[in-house]
Homo-oligomer: A and B are copies of this chain.
């Protein structure tokens, strides 16, 4: 059908995929530039891996997927091997590290950013392609490596534009809950996973709801029943006491955890890890308001083995209608000591932090922190007569040479449509060059910013009229300076 010469496909992006215009692209690009600079200052090196991995290399670690390769975009190569688009940047890192382990300078510290793809049901604000930015240290078992990742996350988010106090990193260790459960006899991995899932709902269901999910199960408002983790009453109490032991300084939380965690080798290890993380954070200058311990933090992924962290946005944000919205998590990570071992058979300690770039950009915008809310258009040189094109281009060239974005209008429309074009592009000014100007060595500049300010009622029309015209004819040699004044918002 597509071969028929009169076939007209409908122009549309695939379901769950989006086009992004300059406004969004530039905000995300600035985030990535700023964050990259911070990550490099921390000694992390850039790495790009391909969009595709062999499906067996991706493994079964996709969050919220029970079957291997569920939720990914996969296809078979010519040689019958299955390839899939990466769903995160961690699995490709594990593959790369395993492949190059012998020759890498270790610990291997890398950061990366780029699109990842998930073959999920799209929804509002839920896309199947989005940009992640990750930093990971592979080959260090020290809890200090976790602390450093947290410090880097704090510095990165701040550099991206989140002012201090706008976000906090919450830390926990998987070892604590695992130790507590093991001590309580709940050793089956599937049961421990059920516990993690129940704890993860603390925010939404409160302690009572979580208690039901930890025990026999819970019926929700619709009457649907969720089977529980099947813990006995004392274990339920311990878990609830543990997950609610956050608050205050990191030291205070540690003391409270020590009181409820009971004694188990794994739990003690988790406590000792957090203790060393706390000391390292002090050395790194990460204050209590930037990173705190919160035993209710779970992180959905199965593969974490030690410290887990979550970056939470604290800023009050509002949507386009002005309604308050809760952003919640804008990134997270933790320690995963078994991903490289999938390939090599040898446990390789690793820890890292990841954030969603579009999500952070949306948070910045919602909180009024993104500066590029409107993208300035170029100065537009109006075309009156095609015979004067060379003059128009020369004017545009002068402006560009001075670092000012400029273009000659190249459509076929008349004067009025050209003015409208410049206005829609958010151009600061148009330049008009008629026969008089060309022979007289002058240009006429019309200040569109002023026009917009007037239209918005920012300046009184009469006052403005007396002050100066929005349109002025000046010597060509003064053009760059005059446009700069408009761009800087200075008006005589």
Using known A-B contacts A56-B9, A74-B75, determine if residue A283 contacts B390 with beta carbons closer than 8 Å. yes
Using known A-B contacts A79-B15, A137-B410, A410-B137, determine if residue A283 contacts B342 with beta carbons closer than 8 Å. no
Mask for A53-68, Cβ within 8 A of B = 1, else 0?
Answer: 1111101100000001
Beyond the given A9-B59, A52-B129, please list 20 additional residue pairs across the A-B interface where CB-CB is below 8 A: A2-B60, A8-B342, A11-B57, A13-B50, A13-B95, A14-B77, A20-B47, A21-B47, A22-B47, A41-B406, A43-B405, A107-B410, A107-B411, A139-B411, A142-B412, A145-B410, A148-B407, A280-B389, A283-B392, A284-B393
B19 and A47 contact, CB distance less than 8 A = yes
Say which one of A176-184, A197-205, A303-311, A396-404 lies at the interface with B: A396-404
A408 and B144 contact, CB distance less than 8 A = yes
B285 and A424 contact, CB distance less than 8 A = no
User: Chain B residue with minimal CB distance to A392?
Assistant: B283
Using known A-B contacts A42-B407, A43-B406, determine if residue A12 contacts B54 with beta carbons closer than 8 Å. yes
A316 to chain B, nearest CB (A): 29
A56 to chain B, nearest CB (A): 4
Say which one of A98-106, A265-273, A452-460 lies at the interface with B: A98-106
A295 beta carbon closer than 8 Å to chain B: no
Q: How far is the CA of A492 from the CA of B14 in the complex (A)?
A: 62
Q: Which of A292-349 contact B (CB under 8 A)?
A: 342-345
A486 beta carbon closer than 8 Å to chain B: no
A353 beta carbon closer than 8 Å to chain B: no
* Number of chain copies forming the complex: 2
19 A-B contacts (beta carbon < 8 Å) = A2-B56, A2-B59, A8-B342, A9-B59, A11-B95, A12-B57, A13-B50, A14-B53, A20-B48, A25-B48, A29-B46, A41-B403, A42-B400, A42-B406, A45-B375, A51-B129, A105-B421, A137-B410, A148-B410
Q: How far is the CA of A410 from the CA of B335 in the complex (A)?
A: 14
A216 beta carbon closer than 8 Å to chain B: no
Q: How far is the CA of A22 from the CA of B104 in the complex (A)?
A: 13
A377 beta carbon closer than 8 Å to chain B: yes
A87 beta carbon closer than 8 Å to chain B: no
Q: How far is the CA of A54 from the CA of B155 in the complex (A)?
A: 40
A17 beta carbon closer than 8 Å to chain B: yes
A350 to chain B, nearest CB (A): 12
Residue numbers in B under 8 Å from A411 (CB-CB): 106-107, 139-140
Residue numbers in B under 8 Å from A77 (CB-CB): 14-15
User: Chain B residue with minimal CB distance to A146?
Assistant: B410
B400 and A52 contact, CB distance less than 8 A = no
Residue numbers in B under 8 Å from A59 (CB-CB): 2, 9
* Size of interface on A: residues with Cβ below 8 Å to B: 110
Residue numbers in B under 8 Å from A55 (CB-CB): 2
A50 and B8 contact, CB distance less than 8 A = no
Interface residues of A (CB under 8 A from B): 2-3, 7-15, 17-22, 24-26, 29, 33, 40-43, 45-57, 59-60, 68, 73-75, 77, 79, 81, 83, 85, 95-96, 98-99, 105-107, 109, 115, 117, 129, 137, 139-142, 144-145, 147-148, 151, 155, 276, 279-280, 282-285, 342-345, 375, 377-378, 380, 386, 389-394, 396-397, 400, 403-412, 421, 424-425
Contact of A68 (CB < 8 Å), options: B3, B52, B57, B73 = B3
Residue numbers in B under 8 Å from A20 (CB-CB): 47-49
User: Chain B residue with minimal CB distance to A76?
Assistant: B75
A394 and B285 contact, CB distance less than 8 A = yes
Q: How far is the CA of A10 from the CA of B343 in the complex (A)?
A: 6
Q: How far is the CA of A237 from the CA of B285 in the complex (A)?
A: 78
Residue numbers in B under 8 Å from A51 (CB-CB): 17, 51, 85, 115, 117, 129
User: Chain B residue with minimal CB distance to A84?
Assistant: B14
A14 and B52 contact, CB distance less than 8 A = yes
Q: How far is the CA of A375 from the CA of B142 in the complex (A)?
A: 26
A443 to chain B, nearest CB (A): 15
B280 and A390 contact, CB distance less than 8 A = yes
User: Chain B residue with minimal CB distance to A423?
Assistant: B105
Q: How far is the CA of A375 from the CA of B96 in the complex (A)?
A: 19
Residue numbers in B under 8 Å from A276 (CB-CB): 389
